[in-house]
Amino acid sequence: MARTAFTAPAHIVKQRNALGNTATQPDSAPSLGYGGMNLIDPRLVWNKYNSSGNGVACAAIGWPANGCILDATPAAASATNVAAAANVTSGTAMTLVSSSGNGIIVTSSAFTALPTRTVIPSGTLAVGAQMGYLSLGIRDITMYYDPTKAVTATLKVTGVSGGAGGAFIVRGWDLYGQPMAETITATSGATTVSGLKAWKWIASITPQFTDAHNYSFGTTLTVGLNLAADLAGYVNIWVNGSGYTANPSITVADTTSPATGTTGDVRGTTVLTNAHTLVYVNLSSARLTTTPLSQGMFGVDNFTQ
């Protein structure tokens, strides 16, 4: 019988012989349908060589079918947990914090992010926790994104009295290791301005102006949705085991294409509290029929310049 190629997401249990052994079927594709129906990320291309090992973390990855994209307690907002207050010089990157705390992790080793397989350098700042993946136990070739490690956050800049304000360019990566860039412009005086894009890893913050007044950067309690949502009704939030009855202040995915340094998050964000939170996102039928499917599920490509 000829093999047929098709695009994920697919829910197919691997072939088994009469003894229930899959090891004799080396060409059968990994499936997140093994042990449950789950949502495969189509950006990680499967092939039998990856599934045989060869130093690759996994050959298929995705989210649980229930759509739980966050199961964590976001840290309280901070004005200085990314970069302490300091004068700025145009074109010279700010000094980022050098120790973990207040919802920021300074990574101690290089990390390969999935599905992009981007290598995040050691010493990079991670929001909430270093990202993690949960093995489904099929020879460790299929994994879930770990919702307990999936906190992301928008950033904010805070100035001081007398400061003129100006633009900063933030660079780093999203939850999936896609490069990101964002322009956040501080206003004059002792004011705070928040960005719109949800960050997982922060590599640099570079001012585009010079000012002998202090500016600092920190995280907010606005977190990323991780799957693209076009209406608040596709998002379900539970706090401390109870349904979220208050308005969760959801900002839907920004569909501007191509994205720019000032457009919103490509998957959307929501404002949370410093409490244990479960966030569920259901993909709309429009998202699941978008071509390419990856942009339906995860939004348009991030701005990277």
225-259 pLDDT tens trace: 999 999 999 999 999 988 876 667 999 999 999 99
Q: Is 250 within the bounds of a domain? A: yes
Choosing from 221, 247, 263, the residue where a domain stops is 221
3-state secondary structure (DSSP) of residue 200: coil
Considering the domain architecture, whether residues 159 and 96 belong to the same structural domain is answered as yes
Choosing from 193, 221, 249, the residue where a domain stops is 221
Residue 297's φ and ψ, nearest 5 degrees, are: -75, -40
- pLDDT band of 143, cuts 50, 70, 90: confident
Q: What is the pLDDT of residue 112?
A: 92
**Tokens of residue 90, six digits:** 């145009």
Omega prior to 74 cis, within 30 of 0: no
Q: What is the pLDDT of residue 97?
A: 98
Calculate the average pLDDT of the chain. Answer: 87
Q: Is 51 within the bounds of a domain? A: no
Considering the domain architecture, whether residues 163 and 270 belong to the same structural domain is answered as no
Q: What is the pLDDT of residue 18?
A: 41
Q: Is 163 within the bounds of a domain? A: yes
Considering the domain architecture, whether residues 192 and 217 belong to the same structural domain is answered as yes
DSSP 133-187: EEE-SSTT-EEEE-GGG---B-EEEE--TT---EEEEEEEE-TTS-EEEEEEEEP
Q: Is 97 within the bounds of a domain? A: yes
CA 275 to chain centroid: 20
Looking at the 3D structure of the chain, how many domains does it have? 2
- pLDDT band of 33, cuts 50, 70, 90: low
CA-wise closest residue to 233 among 197, 277, 284, 271: 284
Considering the domain architecture, whether residues 234 and 287 belong to the same structural domain is answered as yes
- pLDDT band of 214, cuts 50, 70, 90: very high
Q: Which structural domain, as residue segments, surrounds residue 104?
A: 83-132+155-221
Considering the domain architecture, whether residues 213 and 291 belong to the same structural domain is answered as no
Cβ neighbours around 16 below 10 Å, total:
13
Q: Is 144 or 198 the better-scoring residue by pLDDT? A: 198
- pLDDT band of 1, cuts 50, 70, 90: very low
CA distance linking residue 126 with residue 199, whole number of Å: 8
CA distance linking residue 53 with residue 165, whole number of Å: 51
Buried b (16+ CB within 10 A) or exposed e, 160-182: eeebebbbbbbbbbbbbbbbbbb
Question: From edge to edge, which strands make up the β-sheet containing 235-239?
Answer: 68-72, 277-281, 235-239, 242-243
Q: Is 283 or 19 the better-scoring residue by pLDDT? A: 283
- pLDDT band of 13, cuts 50, 70, 90: very low
Considering the domain architecture, whether residues 98 and 163 belong to the same structural domain is answered as yes
* 300 has pLDDT over 80: yes
pTM for this predicted structure: 0.87
Averaged over 53-64, what is the pLDDT?
A: 70
Q: Is 247 or 207 the better-scoring residue by pLDDT? A: 207
CA distance linking residue 61 with residue 237, whole number of Å: 24
* 130 has pLDDT over 50: yes
* CB contact at 8 A, 105 and 130: yes
Considering the domain architecture, whether residues 201 and 234 belong to the same structural domain is answered as no
Considering the domain architecture, whether residues 160 and 270 belong to the same structural domain is answered as no
Q: Residue 201: in which H helix or E strand, if any?
A: strand 201-207
Summarize pLDDT for 147-195 with one digit per residue, the tens. Answer: 999 999 999 999 999 999 999 999 999 999 999 999 999 999 999 999 9
Considering the domain architecture, whether residues 208 and 249 belong to the same structural domain is answered as no
Q: What is the pLDDT of residue 241?
A: 83
Considering the domain architecture, whether residues 212 and 228 belong to the same structural domain is answered as no
Share of the chain above pLDDT 70, in %: 81
Q: What is the pLDDT of residue 60?
A: 80
